[in-house]
Structure 1
Amino acid sequence: MPPSGTSTDPSPDDGTAAELDADAAVVRGEDLPSARTPLDKARIVAAALEHVEEAGLATLTMRRLGTRLGVEAMSLYRYVPGKEDLLDAVVEVLIGDMHADPEVLLEPRDGWQDFLQRLAHGVRRVALAHPKSFPLVASRPPEAPWLRPPLRSLDWVETFLSGLVGSGFSDEAAVAAYRAFCSFLLGHLLLEVSTLGADIGPLDVHEDGEDEDPRLLDHPTVRRLRRGLAQDHAAVEFEESLEELLNRIAVLRVEL
């Protein structure tokens, strides 16, 4: 016979278990997700961003997000109409992070090269801070079809173009610089975040550990140089490629 006061009932259902977990959290002095902090769009988007970085974009659902916040999924729809709107909001947060970066300038102060270098590094900091979410910047619909990621918001394109035009670029040279700058950043950063676990589709990189791919037997040069190919020189390559890009843009400034 069990000791006095010990229940012999079967295990509680999910709802009861959740209540017990909540009670235990209160005893530990923890804040309940929904009871202590009011639910709003900013909090929902922040939770979605955290989930993607922890578990990957493919696992994000409104139901799981609701569980993370301690509410029913239906409660989220009062603030976010649907998952597509949620993903767009995540992109807005990522782009907004650049505005909050004190190193990123909204207009050139020490020349256009310094202006673009600061902007490039600001975008890279966002990508490295949120590697699994960053591919959304490339995949979500832009505000206008002719905007290019990662500078895909009208505000940032206005900042970029007006900064260069104010530095002596013609309209044609500023547009050419915008295209080259975005292509460089997107290509480099998508490859870099793929090594940090981001899902970018066909370009995704998977480590095979110590197991050697049998296909390497038919590619002796690749097999011999594989250790060098696997070394991470992303930061150095970013700097060198950025310098080359700025040199090309300087030529465009003169020619166009």
Structure 2
Amino acid sequence: MQGELPDDAPSGDPDPSVPDPPDLSDDAPDRDGPAARGATAVLPAGPPSTGRTPLDRRRVLGAAVEYIDRHGLGALTMRRLGAALGVEAMALYRYVPGREQLLDGVVETVIDELYGDPDVHMQAAHGWQDFLQRLAHGVRRLALAHPEVFPLVATRPPAAPWVRPPLRSLRWVESFLTAMTDSGFSDEAAVGAYRAYSSFLLGHLLLEVSQKGVAINAEDVPGDGAPSPGADLRSYPSVVRLESLLSRDETAAEFEEALENLLGRLETVRQEGRAPGD
């Protein structure tokens, strides 16, 4: 997406709150990789539960994220998670009714890292392009920090089943739509931006984690495709207001538009005699 800076954009010294452009030289470290960012933000499971360290929902979900990171999604069971926490599996049902709710909680726990990322802004304070760049790199950091968990982020059914493309985190969808409409996008344009942006971002990152050996096909991601019953959508007014737009199936037209844009960019690359990444 292209856009112009507002007329009142500051000049002179660069704004320290705006991220520097990435170093794309061959020997530059991946700025989104875990090594460049330090340890993951999710709290580790910690030692096995004792009378002095009682379980709570946050600890159970943090342990589930850590278990999937280490052993893969397919290995996660309530019994194995209980063993990792030093309790019987039945003790976990007080905090998560079942495996499906556990996986929903895992997604929420990982997405919460996005909102704790100091480089990601929840409002487009420095323009919508800066907002989208920060968000994209924040999501990529999640994918690289939790490659075994990331397919869940992109495939768990949303609480609002009309969202297209489906994304489990309505908090993300809500902040995206609000930021875009606050930046002057019409409702239709904001939804179109969400579709194009999320399709590009999630598709690219799913391919990236698959190259690390993570399975991303439907058989490897549990779930029956139905949202959690009784979902409360009052915290997501933009999602509710734009239901009629978000529910449209425009994937064929969007595919053609994305393909045309790609071919146009490649033609520019051909004419300029350079590699696509230069």
TM-score by length of 2: 0.59
Aligned residue among 56, 69, 78 for 1:62: 78
Aligned residue among 128, 135, 138 for 1:112: 128
Deviations along 1:138-189, one digit per CA (max 9) or x if unpaired, are 2211011122568543322221112111111111111100000010011000
Q: Once the 2 structures are TM-superposed, how far is the Cα of residue 197 of structure 1 from its aligned partner?
A: 3.0
Tell whether 2:141 aligns with 1:125: yes
Q: Decide whether aligned partners of structure 1 residues 128 and 203 sit closer, same or farther in structure 2, where only a CA change above 3 A counts.
A: farther
Aligned length: 179
Separation of aligned partners in 1, 2:137 and 2:219: 23
Alignment of structure 1 residues 192-211 onto 2, 5 Å: 192-201=208-217
Deviations along 1:64-106, one digit per CA (max 9) or x if unpaired, are 1111011111111111111111000001112211111111111
| Contact kept? 1:104, 1:119, Cα under 8 Å | yes
Tell whether 2:179 aligns with 1:163: yes
Corresponding residue of 1:100: 116
Q: Decide whether aligned partners of structure 1 residues 173 and 75 sit closer, same or farther in structure 2, where only a CA change above 3 A counts.
A: same
Tell whether 2:157 aligns with 1:141: yes
Q: Which amino acid aligns with 2:176?
A: F
Q: Decide whether aligned partners of structure 1 residues 31 and 160 sit closer, same or farther in structure 2, where only a CA change above 3 A counts.
A: closer
Separation of aligned partners in 2, 1:31 and 1:137: 27
Corresponding residue of 1:78: 94
Q: Decide whether aligned partners of structure 1 residues 193 and 182 sit closer, same or farther in structure 2, where only a CA change above 3 A counts.
A: same
TM-score by length of 1: 0.64
| Contact kept? 1:52, 1:132, Cα under 8 Å | yes
Separation of aligned partners in 2, 1:133 and 1:97: 13
Work out the percentage of aligned pairs sharing the same amino acid: 64
Q: Which amino acid aligns with 2:159?
A: E
Tell whether 2:198 aligns with 1:187: no
Q: Which amino acid aligns with 1:42?
A: R
Q: Which amino acid aligns with 1:94?
A: V
Runs of 4+ in structure 1 off by over 6 angstroms are none
Q: Decide whether aligned partners of structure 1 residues 56 and 149 sit closer, same or farther in structure 2, where only a CA change above 3 A counts.
A: farther
Relative to its length, the structure with more helix (as a share) is 1
Aligned residue among 67, 75, 87 for 1:51: 67
Q: Which runs of 5+ in 2 are unaligned?
A: 1-45, 221-257, 266-278
Q: Once the 2 structures are TM-superposed, how far is the Cα of residue 203 of structure 1 from its aligned partner?
A: 11
Corresponding residue of 2:11: none
Separation of aligned partners in 2, 1:167 and 1:72: 51
SS at structure 2 position matched to 1:117: helix
| Contact kept? 1:104, 1:122, Cα under 8 Å | yes
Q: Which amino acid aligns with 1:196?
A: K
Q: Decide whether aligned partners of structure 1 residues 75 and 167 sit closer, same or farther in structure 2, where only a CA change above 3 A counts.
A: same
Q: Decide whether aligned partners of structure 1 residues 84 and 157 sit closer, same or farther in structure 2, where only a CA change above 3 A counts.
A: same
Q: Which runs of 5+ in 1 are unaligned?
A: 1-29, 205-240, 249-256
Deviations along 1:215-235, one digit per CA (max 9) or x if unpaired, are xxxxxxxxxxxxxxxxxxxxx
Q: Once the 2 structures are TM-superposed, how far is the Cα of residue 202 of structure 1 from its aligned partner?
A: 7.7
RMSD over aligned Cα atoms: 2.5
| Contact kept? 1:147, 1:153, Cα under 8 Å | no
Separation of aligned partners in 2, 1:133 and 1:149: 19
